Structure 1
Amino acid sequence: MLKDLLIYLPSYPRPVSRSALRRAIDFARRMEAHATCIVGETTVPPPVAFHPYGVDLETRLAERQREVHQTARSELAAFEEEASRVGLAHEGRIVKSAYGEEDDQLLAAARLHSLTVVPMPEDAEASADLVQTLVFEAGRPVLVLPEGGSETFSLDDVVVAWDGTRAAARAVADAMPLLERAAKVRIVTVGRDKPLPEHGSAHDLATHLRRNGIKATAQEEERGSRSVGGALDQAAGKADLMVMGAFGHSRIRDFFLGGATRHVLREPRRATLLSH
């Protein structure tokens, strides 16, 4: 059940768009959930190149901090306005933190909610790092919502990235409330990536989901010269949602060599539910 959701909105280095916020709220509405919004108000870090700091730099930093504070207040007001407009049960607050330490309070909140929704501004490396921290440390799934596209959340076509691992199985279990609402579910495996166990194929998973009343089919995508993430992207096409286990290999390997999860976070093209 996804009845108690957390939505995170950054105010620094850039906020999310109103359309991305509306999509997050529409998701909560579809789940008939309560939504708690945390708006992060981060302390603006001084540029290292300007050390030692002069009065002029301190003045500019103070001005920038006031801008961040006003952005945070505007984002909270926008959340409350949009949530009230659709009749969503909600609450929201601004959380202040030092730069680089914003994860701690958010993690504490994420562990007390069914799922955390993270709308991602374009070219926001900080948001990608935050999602990785949430996936690994919160013990709850994370829904990434990239900028662009519709302001409504759809489940007409859902893709499950399946490789037979524990992380993939965890993602499927966490996504069951969404899969049950989906018009169709496609289980996609990428050929020649890694061998699947004898009884852990996409067809086996599709059978399991159908026994739970979910309209699921299985398909295999040949990797060829593409990365696993690229192959999954092409197989997903115009899917509304992708469900995938985060970092199926070791985290260290994925950090240095990349991987399907880092591909998704680097170039998010659709809503993606990540679990670990």
Structure 2
Amino acid sequence: MLRSLLFALDDTPGALAARDAALALAARTGAALTAAAILDRPHTSGAHEALPIGGAAFAEHRDAARAARLEAEAAAALAAFRAAAGTLPVRTVTLEEAPAPALLRASAAHDLILLGRDSTLGLEETEDGLAPVIPTLLKDGARPLLVVPAGAPAEGPVLVGYDGSVPAMRSLQSFALLGLAEGSPVKLLAADPAPESAARLAAEGAGFLRRHGLAVEESAVAAGHPAELLLAEAVTLRARLLVMGAFENGRLRSLLLGSTTRRLLREAPCAIYVQH
């Protein structure tokens, strides 16, 4: 069962959607919710940059102003989060490391990390609308992520992309054990060029979920690009959640955050539950 959530606080549209998702999930499940504001001290200071003669005083003033601005923004974001939480008991923390190590360290005490798809988390730049911290959290972290885009549906069925890989198995297991189906209908999609392999994978993944008491519709597909298949199915189903492993290579896999995984994270119309 889900016991604790860690939400990476930000003010981007996706992060605000993730905030609402985190609050709703905590309210439904009773899980403890922690919101973390990240000050990113290592990148607030330009201590390692080359300075012209006489530039030290300017850099010190600039860094102090930048730090003060980030602290004020973090305080405002935490206050807005507490206001949005209302009477729901929540915990807020301020983390002063860079985003990836800060969240990796904090995640040790939580079951799940929620963040906006477009989160900048301080001074980071978001490429292609995808938070740059996501690859590191998937590669080096031990906890699954719930990545939420702006406008993500709050209700609807769950779509599972399953390829039999170790990341897919991990994601399927943690999704089931944390109880994140929450009574929603589940459709599992497995793709493989060989029809018999696709059918075997679909039966394998669906059978696992059924043993955890979930009602699952299984679908085996022997053609099509995995990203195209899952994106189209998510739209058709009006899914509220896409569950997947961080695909690596072949079949429903690509290099970690390569073409398939990155495209799904960037373009899915719903929240994505993903683990590596």
Contact preservation (8 Å) 1:35, 1:88: no
Q: Which amino acid aligns with 2:182?
A: R
1:26 aligns with 2:24: yes
Q: Which amino acid aligns with 1:267?
A: E
Alignment correspondent of 2:131: 128
Alignment correspondent of 1:231: 229
> Where do 1:76-95 residues align within 5 Å?
76-83=78-85, 85=86, 87-95=87-95
**Structure 1 residue matching 2:142: 3-state secondary structure:** coil
**Structure 2 residue matching 1:248: 3-state secondary structure:** coil
Partner Cα separation in structure 1 for residue 59 and residue 47 of structure 2: 9
**Structure 2 residue matching 1:147: 3-state secondary structure:** coil
Alignment correspondent of 2:35: 37
Q: CA deviation at 1:6?
A: 0.9
Q: CA deviation at 1:57?
A: 5.7
TM-score (norm 2): 0.79
1:118 aligns with 2:120: no
Contact preservation (8 Å) 1:33, 1:89: no
**Against the structure 1 CA distance between its residues 230 and 65, is the aligned structure 2 distance closer, same or farther, given a 3 Å change threshold?**
farther
The C-alpha deviation readout for 1:34-87, integer Å capped at 9, x for no partner, is: 00111101243659998538355654444333222111111111222222x1x3
Alignment correspondent of 1:206: 206
**Against the structure 1 CA distance between its residues 59 and 15, is the aligned structure 2 distance closer, same or farther, given a 3 Å change threshold?**
farther
TM-score (norm 1): 0.79
Q: CA deviation at 1:28?
A: 2.1
Partner Cα separation in structure 1 for residue 223 and residue 61 of structure 2: 54
**Against the structure 1 CA distance between its residues 120 and 208, is the aligned structure 2 distance closer, same or farther, given a 3 Å change threshold?**
closer
1:216 aligns with 2:216: yes
Contact preservation (8 Å) 2:199, 2:220: no
Q: Which amino acid aligns with 2:96?
A: K
**Greater shift in the superposed pair: 141-150 or 120-129:** 120-129
**Structure 2 residue matching 1:266: 3-state secondary structure:** helix
Q: Which runs of 5+ in 2 are unaligned?
A: 120-124
Contact preservation (8 Å) 1:34, 1:88: no
Alignment correspondent of 1:65: 67
Partner Cα separation in structure 2 for residue 51 and residue 16 of structure 1: 37
Identity of aligned residues (%): 28
The C-alpha deviation readout for 1:88-138, integer Å capped at 9, x for no partner, is: 3321111113xxx33223211112211111123378339633122222222
> Where do 1:2-17 residues align within 5 Å?
2-10=2-10
**Structure 2 residue matching 1:112: 3-state secondary structure:** coil
Partner Cα separation in structure 2 for residue 139 and residue 248 of structure 1: 17
Alignment correspondent of 1:165: 165
Contact preservation (8 Å) 2:113, 2:145: yes
Alignment correspondent of 1:108: 105
Aligned length: 260
